[in-house]
Amino acid sequence: MSALSIASVGQTNSEQELHDAGYVVGALDEVITLRGMNYHPIDIENSVLRYHKKIAECAVFTWTNLLVVVVELDGNESEALDLVPLVTNTVLEEHQLIVGVVVVVDPGVVPINSRGEKAANSIYVMAFWPIN
């Protein structure tokens, strides 16, 4: 494989014994840059989702050089504060990143577009300018 015609981040594996393979890990516009390093939001989101059965969905973005993690809590409101140290510790241990803001919302609040992708711009507006 010589090139991809879409704006994606990936790598190739050219072991002559097997076959040429290309791995697409995400779109270029979905990369988060913090402290000069690039991170894929899906990696951080999957880490958070794995660590608690009551986290229904997760979205990650940056805001003024802070990492923001939005989690949907599928449980009692009293459990919301228990998620904050869980989320921050998980991201720190697995990705060596410090979470600046954790937003806990009700299930179904993280907007999903028609292609099944999280609408990051809508999440950003929702998290910092809630509509009353």
Helices (H), the chain: 41-50, 80-95, 120-128
Percent above pLDDT 70 for the chain: 67
Q: What is the structure's pLDDT at 100?
A: 94
CA distances for 14 relative to 3, 5, 19, 77, angstroms: 13, 19, 7, 51
Fold topology of 31-128 = GMP Synthetase; Chain A, domain 3 (3.30.300)
Question: Taking the model in full, what pTM does it have?
Answer: 0.72
Position 65 confidence tier, pLDDT thresholds 50, 70, 90: confident
Annotated domain spans of the chain: 1-30, 31-128
